[in-house]
Amino acid sequence: MAKVNKESLSKFFTNVKTHWKTPAEGNYVPFKEYKDIFIAVGSNYTASKVLEYIYFATGCFLIMHHYKLPYLTFSIISIINMPLGYVTALIWWFVCDNLGFLPGKTEKKLYTVYVSMIAFGLALILFDASTLFDPNSKFIIYLNSLEGMSATACFKVFGTHFLYSGWVGARNIFWRKKLIPKFGRYKYSLYSDVIPKCIVVILIGWLPIYEITDVSTRVWAANLLFAVYGVFGFGNVIETTTQSISPNVSERILVRTYPVKLSHFLHTIMTIILPAVVGTLKNGWADINLFRWVIPVAFISCAVLTMIFSSRIKERIPQPPLEKKVNIKFWDGMFGVLHNKYRWINTMVGLIDSLGNGMLAFTSILYLYTFRLAGLPYSILTLLISFAGTPPDLLTPYFLKRFSYKQIMIFYQLTRGIGNGALVLAIWFCGENLVLCGTLCVIVMFLMEMTKTVPTSAGHDMNVRINDYQMYLSGERLESFSGIFGWFTGPITSFVGLIIPLLLLSYGFNSNWDILFLDEARLKIVVVPLIIDVVGFFLMTIPYIFWDYDTNKHNKVMQVLKRRAEVAEKQALEKGEDLSGGYTG
Amino acid sequence: MSKKEKKMNNMLTDTTKLDIPEEEIYTYQVEGLAAPHINKPYKNYNLKKAIFILVILVSVGLSMYFSLYILRSDAFTFKELADGNYQFTKFSNPGYIDELTIDYVMDITYPEGKAEEKNYITVTDAPDTLPKGPFTTEEELMAYHKYLLLQEQKAQQEAAKNRPNFEIVYDEEKPVTSIKEFAINGDGYIKTIYIGKNVTEIDGKAFYSCWALQKIIVDEENPNYCDIDGVLYSKDKKTVICYPCDRDQYLREKYSYPKEMWKWIPEDSNRNPLMTEEDYRPIFEKYSEKVMTYVIPPTVETVGELCFNYSNLATVYLPASLTRIENLGFFEMPNAKDFYTYTNKTVIDTSFEAAKGLDTYISLPEGLTYIGTDAFSYNKEMDYIYIPSSVEYIGHHAFWESCYESDGNIAGLKALNIGLGEEEFKAQVETGDQWTPIYNHNLLKKIPVNYGAQRITE
């Protein structure tokens, strides 16, 4: 045995040495690129996780401890932004589906639209448009009555959204066209965004906007700052790039299994280090130095590593030239996705899930206000809970074979409902004993995390199958057009999502999280939304009852798709046309 | 198929190979699934488009209307009580109300015409240009501060020009007798609250996080409440209920300090120090004594829940009569350093003048029995505490985050000094979780507890 192991190890090392710079026959990725993938994906993933500490919502520590913005104001801003969001989404789909390559006239028209939006947005930000109205008019009085807002702030928030949409839209066309041919469809965004992102990450902590005393001024200024922050992305794109790292499917799986999965270890280290560093700060999570030093240093270090090691990672998916990508007509795309029953099931689930929108993160309350955790204990508990999903992950293939997706998803929603119910009971009956209550909550959360892994994998697979079904139904996967469901659900979710914030407001939660130090206030603020969530989880089982897309049906769909590809290939060969990008399985 | 395989519900069981003719590749319908719809027009195409657009427009419109309708807050919300009186439940400041009288049900109206211009500018002798440092005297520093204040007030004046013309109208048929918890919550504009004679019940959390609140004035005819120089008390003065968050602003105006002063040396906009430590220290100490000192009257037995939270006090004189400090009673007072107990039966008032000549000893009073949860949390300047032998209850996290590690040493509260011996303490005192604070969170190091300690004398 030892001999076999020694031999295979030696063979492995020889193989690595031989194919360090040039890949083996039939493969496309040299081992040197494995090393780059390991470091680049690890640092890119970690950087994107570090950025999750900065977001424009009440749960962000910067908003929680420094900006102290009224809770309902975030809902108001999203409602102000909603109509424009519909228009910009349309243009966005159009540009994205064409990867930035547009006919000259269309490109000019879009630039004109975007530049006008920027100019209009800037005008609204720089000048106070509310002065154009009678201050005693119903409209201005109404705007002033919005929580945390004033008429001036409303116009400036509106202007900010114009500025943001125009700026993002124009950049989208400009950088896609300029950088995609050189860096590929995923990686390009790192090159356009890394420097401005680093600058804004530094500015977020150092600009003393949170010291503005007037709430409504602080609101619009913070909204502007976070909008600028949002213009530049630094998402987990290198990992996405590895999805097309090789045309060889088994090599692709190998890359995604080893260097990619192992690279997440860097994030695990960061999960330990960052809270430990925070534990040494005088004011812990409430210390502004977290945003002035800790997060910028962590992010910039990871960003630099990403940029150094990502340069040699290549996209190698066979596809037609980008400029020749087939377009689908707008309305056909719309109706195509609306005919997909399974997308409706997912939409209904999402809609019911919105009952829990606006709820404060239970873990934040448990860790920070019940347990008062900081430093290493915080890291360890977070790791412990997140580790709970790992052992069941190893059994995922068995569960996916043993149970139907319908069973798995119904089980998932039921466990969520029961788990949250158990949390409610623990808080209700043992709330006064912090240690006992906290321990019970951690055990329940651990179990909930354990039961989450398999349904999560099933959910991903279900989405892939839904796309296959869409292809059978419409001849295209229509992934972008599936966004249309958001058009229907958006208005409802934004309305339903106000239930919990309004309830929390009546329990004393507004802009100051310290209210959670009061036991009786904490009880109401946590328990009532959890109960609403429990109801939501039980209701979410209903749509899944209609899920009848089983493995046999999917197999038949795949046979149809394969047959179509074969026929298309045959017809193309008969006509002597180019076959690049075709794949018959 | 084996028994084990039969159990596998999600495995492929139907392995039928489909025979799809070439001309049917885009129309072939899999059993149990919808038929494909490729390269052929939809029925009633235009009608469907119109319905689609209509549905989207109506749903977005309705959603925005209802959402904005719900989000619109009435400035004042009241609840009618069983006895026909009213409870004040919620105030939502439109951004220009800085004074409020709570006595009757009220509403805001907007009469036609321009709002009367309010004079925000109170600085009379500010220099014309910004004085340049370094300074050596208090007068020079005050002139500098006055100039800054004048600029702020001019900006306020300018901003207020677009203020609507409003008027608060009262319905004297509808008396307000109670104020609900969190009635005014997270407000950044209200400076003065007047409590009328009808109000007989005020929840201790009624004025939570009112960052600009300087004074609470109570009508002398009120049967249950009174105020002492803008601080809310029960009528018998046995309970101090609410010390306004921004009362130091009121005191600054009272003692002619144009701007807030900090313990660290003031700097100009380029971060250059404006004074030397030697010159600045006595100026700040005088300021701290006048603006950041409070004497709780000798009648007081209870410090109410959330009473002093966020107040900018450095020194607090507690009466020997004090027996209870409720939950979060002295929560997060960033500058609170010294707590003294005084034994005098009378004091002239609650200001720094009253503190002069008091018979005091350091820290909490003998006779104190109850220290609520988070009572002294987040007071990192406090460096000494003595828990007297009379204490029977210490709530969870009572001294949480009142200490931290600095250069390897404990900073802030360095130890909990307890009058009782360890065994007596454990027998007599009920303690909540984590009543001893942690100064090193990574290693969970707690500050020492000195049982049987002697109270220090200064």
Which one, of A290, A272, A271, A273, lies nearest residue A282 by Cα? A290
Distance (Å) from the alpha carbon of B348 to chain A's nearest alpha carbon: 35
Q: Is residue A102 a contact partner of residue A173, using CB atoms and an 8 Å limit?
A: yes
Per-residue pLDDT at A320: 44
- pTM of the full structure: 0.85
Residue B372 token pair: 């609520």
Question: Is B209 in the A-facing interface, judged by CB distances under 8 Å?
Answer: yes
Per-residue pLDDT at A447: 94
Average pLDDT rounded to a whole number, residues B207-223: 95
Q: Is A577 left (phi over 0), alpha (psi -120 to 50) or beta?
A: beta
Which structural domains are found in chain A, ordered by start? 28-323 (1.20.1250), 328-549 (1.20.1250)
Cα-Cα end-to-end distance for chain B: 89
This model of the complex carries an ipTM of 0.89
Mutant choice from B17, B30, B211 vs A, greatest count of A C-beta within 10 A: B30
Distance (Å) from the alpha carbon of B421 to chain A's nearest alpha carbon: 26
Strand partners, B100: B193
Question: Is B115 in the A-facing interface, judged by CB distances under 8 Å?
Answer: yes
Question: Is B409 in the A-facing interface, judged by CB distances under 8 Å?
Answer: no
pLDDT digits (tens, 9 = 90+) for A81-138: 887 787 777 777 666 655 555 677 878 888 998 999 999 999 999 999 998 998 888 8
Question: Is B17 in the A-facing interface, judged by CB distances under 8 Å?
Answer: yes
Distance (Å) from the alpha carbon of A331 to chain B's nearest alpha carbon: 8
Buried b (16+ CB within 10 A) or exposed e, A518-527: bbebbbbbbb
Task: Flag whether pLDDT at B91 surpasses 60.
Answer: yes
| Lowest-pLDDT range of A246-260, B182-196, B271-285, B301-315 | A246-260
Cα-Cα end-to-end distance for chain A: 38
Per-residue pLDDT at B201: 96
Chain-chain contact of B63 with A490 (C-beta, under 8 angstroms): yes
Provide the percentage of residues in chain A whose pLDDT is more than 90: 36
Nearest CB to A434; choose among B25, B64, B433: B433
Residue A184 to residues A29, A255, A518, B279, Cα–Cα distance (Å): 16, 18, 53, 64
Per-residue pLDDT at B22: 87
**Interface contacts A/B by beta carbons within 8 Å:** 242
Nearest CB to A560; choose among B20, B181, B443: B20
Average pLDDT rounded to a whole number, residues B239-265: 94
Which of the four pLDDT bands, split at 50, 70 and 90, describes residue B227? very high
Average pLDDT rounded to a whole number, residues A527-552: 93
Per-residue pLDDT at A102: 65
Residue B31 to residues A345, A554, B35, Cα–Cα distance (Å): 20, 11, 9
Chain-chain contact of A559 with B17 (C-beta, under 8 angstroms): yes
Q: Is residue A272 a contact partner of residue A50, using CB atoms and an 8 Å limit?
A: no
| Lowest-pLDDT range of A44-48, A238-242, B219-223 | A238-242
User: How many residues does this entry show for chain B?
Assistant: 458
Per-residue pLDDT at A510: 83
Per-residue pLDDT at B71: 76
Tell me the C-alpha distance between A171 and A181, whole Å.
16
Q: Which of A106-110, A555-559, A562-566 has the highest mean pLDDT?
A: A555-559
Helix (H) or strand (E) holding A303: helix A295-310
Per-residue pLDDT at A511: 83
pLDDT digits (tens, 9 = 90+) for B351-388: 999 998 899 999 999 999 999 999 999 999 999 999 99
The verdict on whether omega for the bond into residue A208 sits within 30 degrees of 0, i.e. cis, is: no
Going by their DSSP bridges, the two strands B315-319 and B338-342 should be labelled as parallel
Task: Flag whether pLDDT at A585 surpasses 70.
Answer: no
Provide the percentage of residues in chain B whose pLDDT is more than 90: 70
Mutant choice from A494, A560, A566, A569 vs B, greatest count of B C-beta within 10 A: A560
Task: Flag whether pLDDT at A326 surpasses 60.
Answer: no
Task: Flag whether pLDDT at B3 surpasses 70.
Answer: no
Quick one: chain A helix, strand, coil %, rounded to 5? Answer: 75, 0, 25
Tell me the C-alpha distance between A442 and A385, whole Å.
8
Nearest CB to A136; choose among B28, B165, B331: B165
The 3-state DSSP class for residue B99 equals strand
Tell me the C-alpha distance between B193 and B202, whole Å.
13
Residue B268 to residues B58, B123, B135, B256, B274, Cα–Cα distance (Å): 56, 20, 11, 21, 6
Which of the four pLDDT bands, split at 50, 70 and 90, describes residue B104? very high
Closest residue of chain A to B373, computed from CA coordinates: A518
Per-residue pLDDT at A100: 54
Residues of chain A found within 8 Å of residue B75, distances taken between Cβ atoms: 145
Per-residue pLDDT at A126: 95
Per-residue pLDDT at A321: 46
Per-residue pLDDT at A582: 45
Helix (H) or strand (E) holding B176: strand B167-179
Task: Flag whether pLDDT at A78 surpasses 90.
Answer: no
Interface of B with A in 314-343 (CB under 8 A): 327-328, 331-332
Residue A240 to residues A99, A362, B55, Cα–Cα distance (Å): 16, 30, 36
Q: Tell me what the pLDDT averaged over chain A comes to.
A: 86
pLDDT digits (tens, 9 = 90+) for A448-500: 999 998 898 888 888 888 988 998 998 877 877 788 888 878 888 888 888 88
Q: Is residue A265 a contact partner of residue A175, using CB atoms and an 8 Å limit?
A: no
Per-residue pLDDT at A440: 92
Residues of chain B found within 8 Å of residue A378, distances taken between Cβ atoms: 441
Distance (Å) from the alpha carbon of A459 to chain B's nearest alpha carbon: 14
Chain-chain contact of B441 with A375 (C-beta, under 8 angstroms): yes
Mutant choice from A283, A556, A566 vs B, greatest count of B C-beta within 10 A: A556
Strand partners, B192: B99, B215
**Torsion (CA) A286, A288, A293, A295 in degrees, nearest 10:** 50
Nearest CB to B397; choose among A331, A372, A378: A372
pLDDT digits (tens, 9 = 90+) for B39-74: 788 888 889 889 888 888 887 788 778 877 777 778
Task: Flag whether pLDDT at A319 surpasses 70.
Answer: no
Q: Is residue A214 a contact partner of residue B160, using CB atoms and an 8 Å limit?
A: no
Classify burial at B3, counting beta carbons within 10 Å of its beta carbon; exposed 0-12, middle 13-18, buried 19 or more.
exposed
Per-residue pLDDT at B6: 62
Provide the percentage of residues in chain A whose pLDDT is more than 70: 93
Residues of chain A found within 8 Å of residue B111, distances taken between Cβ atoms: 136
Task: Flag whether pLDDT at B117 surpasses 90.
Answer: no
Which one, of A511, A512, A53, lies nearest residue A293 by Cα? A53
In this structure, the number of other CB atoms found within 10 A of the CB of residue B105 comes to 19
Where do the H-state alpha helices sit in A452-540? 453-474, 484-496, 499-506, 519-539
Task: Flag whether pLDDT at A224 surpasses 80.
Answer: yes
Provide the percentage of residues in chain B whose pLDDT is more than 70: 97
Average pLDDT rounded to a whole number, residues B234-262: 95
**B312 or B163: whose pLDDT is higher?**
B312
Residue B293 to residues B28, B314, B376, B438, Cα–Cα distance (Å): 86, 6, 17, 28
Tell me the C-alpha distance between B306 and B72, whole Å.
29
Amino acid at A343: R
Sequence-ordered list of residues with C-beta below 8 angstroms from that of A12, at least 6 positions apart, any chain: none
Nearest CB to B30; choose among A375, A505, A556: A556
Q: Which of A283-287, B240-244, B354-358 has the highest mean pLDDT?
A: B240-244
